């Protein structure tokens, strides 16, 4: 059975899947994310993201996307745990 757990960016681990709950920010920012395929309900995978780069790498539907950490923090998500 799949459980859904609330976690912040600091607790999500490489390889974990999460689902977008809400996107904050301007309309232009939301349209930008939509053009990348990221919208409410989208499932993504958190990839290796070295801290010194200030970027967050995620995979959406088979493509890898890098967002600034400050931009990624505007996205509310729930981490999915397959346990």
pLDDT surpasses 70 at 6: no
The pLDDT assigned to 30 comes to 96
Determine the Cα–Cα distance for residues 57 and 55; give it in Å rounded to an integer: 6
Its pTM surpasses 0.75: yes
Torsion, CA 34, CA 24, CA 18, CA 64, rounded to 10: 40
Find the CATH number of the domain harbouring 41.
Answer: 2.30.30.90
pLDDT band of 82, cuts 50, 70, 90: low
Q: Give the range of the structural domain holding residue 38, as residue numbers without chain letter.
A: 3-81
Count up the domains in the chain and report the number. Answer: 1
pLDDT tens-place string over residues 35-52: 999 999 999 999 998 888
């Amino acid at each position: 059975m799949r459980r859904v757990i609330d976690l912040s960016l600091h607790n999500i681990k490489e390889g974990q899947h999460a689902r977008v709950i809400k996107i904050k920010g301007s309309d232009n920012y939301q349209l930008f994310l939509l053009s990348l395929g990221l919208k409410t309900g989208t499932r993504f995978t958190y990839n290796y993201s070295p801290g010194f780069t200030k970027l967050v790498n995620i995979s959406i539907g088979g493509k890898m996307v890098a967002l600034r950490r400050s931009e990624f923090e505007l996205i509310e998500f729930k981490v999915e745990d397959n346990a």
